[in-house]
Every structure is written in C-alpha cells, then in structure tokens.
Structure 1
Amino acid sequence: MEQNNETSGGDFILLGFSDQLHTPMYFFLTNLSSLDLCFTTSIVPQLLWNLKGPAKTITPVGCAIQLYVSLSLGSAECVLLTIMAFDRYVAVCRPLNYTSIMHPSFCKALAGVAWLSGVGNTLIQGTITLRLPRCGHRHLHHFLCEVPAMVKLACVDIQANEVQLFVATLVLLLLPVALILVSYGFIVQAVMKIKSVQAWRKALGTCGSHLLVVFLFFGPSSAIYIQPKRSYGRSQGKLLTLFYTVVTPTLNPLIYTLRNKDVKGALRRLLRRGQSS
C-alpha cells in the first residue's frame, strides 16, 4: 500500500523544488491548489469591495465575468476531486500497478478533462442564465453572481431553467459524489482484508484529508444547487455559498499541508538552500 500525505494551498510552488513531490497525487494537488486560488480570487475582491460601504453594486459585465469564472472553476473542482478519489483507489487497491496506471500522460489527460468540463459547463449554464430576460432594475440578494440566485431575477417562467440546472447538478455534483463513495467503498474493503493497525493508519493518512475536503465542498454546494426552488433564508443561502466558495478553499492548505511530512521536509530543504546561498 502506498503511503501518501496530501498538500494543497500555496504549497504548489514547492513542487518545482523537490523531486520527492513529483508524483501523481501531488500533480493533482497542484491543480487543486491552482483552482482554489483562482476560485477565491474571482469572488473575494468584489466581496471585500462591497463591504466597504452601503452601495453594494457590480456592473453587468463584471457580474457576467464573475459568473463564468467562478462557475467554471467550481465545476472543474467537482471533477478534480472525483479524479483524486480514483487516484487514491488505485494507490490503495492496486499498489503494484499504481505507476503503470497513473503515468504522467494519463494524469495530464485527467486534469485536462477536469478543466475542460468546467469550461464546457460554464459556457452552457452561464450563457443560458445570462440570456434570461430581466425586467427593469433587479437587486441580486447575494454577494456572488451565482446561477441559482440569478435565475430568480428573471421575469419569465424559469421552470425549464430549473430543470436544466437540476440535470447539470446531477452530472457535476451527485454523480461525482457517487463515484467518490464507490471508490472509498473499495478502499475500505481492501483495508478490511489487511488486519493491521499500520494499514489503517496509512489508509487514513492517504485518504482522510481528501474525504474531509469532499465533505466540506460537496455538502454546501449540493444544498444550494440540488433544489434551486427551495425557500432558503437569504442569510442561510449566503452562508452556504460563502462556505464552499471561500471558507473551504481557504481551509484546504490547513487540511492538507499541516499534516504533510513530505512538504514540510521540502520546505525545510528549500529554506536551508536559501540560507546557504
């Protein structure tokens, strides 16, 4: 069984300085770090700008850009977390074939699928949402130009849009969750066959951080997208959105890095190299 501890956040910079971190798992974590950084950057600046005074506004062009960018990155993260679960499945259940299955070209192709799926989803959902007619000046009761909130601004029947949004949610939220659960089901079966405390520790070290991130990301996002007609309170809807768009990406470095021996070792070596130069 392969023993790996995970990393995320700003630590993707370290990957270029340590050969020990050039593995498929760290390659996917580099992509996750980049997604998290871009995701929060597309949301937080406008959020902070609106906090400075009572006039909370965003231009139509700015709203469209924020919608396209945040939806693309959020969709890509759904797929990437699923790919990472598959990587953990291969590492635990097929350790002898891990390097042959997760070879660099295959990993790059999987990462490309994640990014392209995000772009494809935002081009479809974002364009359909922006084309909805809105009568007069409308107030978006949200801090983010998000599809469920923007659909409610339309002055036409939005039933077809809600069906389309529900289908997209099934594909990009519920299906990934199902695949992740299946992957971890096989992982649990594999570990149960090995009656070793050390095996359990390796499995928890390999998969625990990823499972926590999956729960923190998919839980609130599913609650927002699965039933757009559901009457959330405004504060509750904003809190859930804030959690998976800002809080979870911010927590990822703490969840992954603080328990990561490989990255800590690479950082120490990098600091020693800087002091000696």
Structure 2
Amino acid sequence: MTKLAFLGLGVMGGPMAGHLKAAGYDIAVFNRTLAKAEAWADRHGGTCAQTPREAAEGADFVLACVGNDDDLRQVCLGPDGAFAGMRPGAIFVDHTTVSAAVTRELAQAAQQLGLGYVDAPVSGGQAGAENGQLSVMCGGSASDYDAAAPVIATYARICRRMGEVGAGQITKMCNQIAIAGLVQALSESLAFAKKSGLEVEKVVEVISQGAAGSWQMANRHKTMDQGQFEHGFAVDWMRKDLAICLAAADEVGASLPVTALVDQFYKDVQRMGGGRWDTSSLIARLG
C-alpha cells in the first residue's frame, strides 16, 4: 500500500488529508498545533506524528499545505524536517501557495537528497477542499508529476502539469491576479446597483447570464449584498499571495497595475478590521 504523510491540517489541508484517508491510503499527519493533528486522527484514523520527520519516515509521498515561505522551510529542512526523514526516491508535493523562489530552493535541496519535488498549489477554497473539487496546478519533472498525479486526483477536479519546478506557483499567481481584479469589479457593480436604487438580486439575475457572469457573482453576490464575509479565503492570505505576485512581476518585467491597486484596497479592508474576512469583502470599503 502507498504510504503518505500530510503536513498542515488547516482549513485546506485537513479536508485534503481526509480525502486521502477515505480513499484507503496509509497516512501519517503532522500539524504544528499537536491538538489539531490529534483531533484529525481521532476523526479519520491514521497516525499522528510529533515532527515532520517522523511523519515522513517511510512515506512514498509527503504532501504539505502550510502558510507561507517560512512555514514551508520549517517543515522541510533541519533535523526534524520532512526531508531528513524521507527515503531516496520519495516525492514531496507542496500544496502551499508560496514564492517560486522558495520552491526552487527547496526543490534543489530535495534533488541533492535524491528526492522528487512537485509544487502543486491549489484553487477552489475551503469548499473545494471539503468537496474534493480543487484545481491543482503543478510544476516538476514529468516523471515526478506522473507518479504524484493519482494521489492528487483524490481531491482534485482538475490537475495539470504546467512545466518544470516553479511553474505551478507561477500559474497560481495568474489565478490570484485574475481573482483580484474580478472581485473589485464585482464589488463596484453591486455597490453601484444598490446606490442607484436597483434590486441587486434582479440585476445579478440578468447580467449573470451574459458576459459579466462569473463564479464569484453566482456564489458571492448575496453574501456581499448582506455584508457577510465569513465564506472563504481570508484577506490576510490574499495579501500574502498578491505580494508574491507583485514581486514575481518585478522579476520578469511584467506590469500589474490593477493587481497593485486592489492589493491596496485589501489593505484598507485590513485597517477596517477585516483581515480574516473573505476576499469578497472588498465591497465593504465602498460604503
């Protein structure tokens, strides 16, 4: 039986690891807050490890979904890191949204140890993780990707190799850039409709059937209109992702004027106390 380790059991990682256990994989889990890992193991079964190294020992694949570049380094490197416990030939799959720079750094460290590495950030939010319907964009060698793809398919609606190591993270940046501009435009549209005396629900019913329609419009317009922002990816995390996008754009000479502007709008939301609100909360700053 293929043996797995999963590092990071937050709102994304917890459900993803749950799908793997339900599919019959032998899985060990690690979370920096041990109580969370113990609660996961009590609910799903599997082994609860004290360190990333312990979780990774003997695993064919080690999967991670943590917070940021530094978090990823901490679970990978050092005497208690996952790399120290992985056997040569095992593959590390990173679902965290991080910079392409740290991805290449860790992939090189993995290669020196005889390990495979696939960067595989995801899109679809908490609902996508819980329902096993994530979009997964991957970077890595064709052989590492082909080996990891059946495991990833357990919680993916679509999984594609985008190129060599780092290509998955670059693709995730494209995703976040597209979302940022779209949510701001939707916020302005709904706020304008409301201030003009129109019924938001009727407006959306009509315009969603044409070129203006989007997943955000279909799934978030009601909660945006009601000022409810507890339904998805947090503003704090979006700002982390947009900072990665803007830094990468500088490296390649790309211009992201709308992304830079929306990043500042999210900063306004943070100042309003909305750092943990979901990204649709851009509408709150429009009054």
> Same fold per TM (> 0.5)?
no
Comparing both structures, which one devotes a greater share of its residues to strand? Answer: 2
- Does 1 or 2 have the higher relative contact order (CA < 8 Å, sep 6+)? 1
TM-score normalised according to structure 2 size: 0.29
Task: Give the structure with the larger helix fraction.
Answer: 1
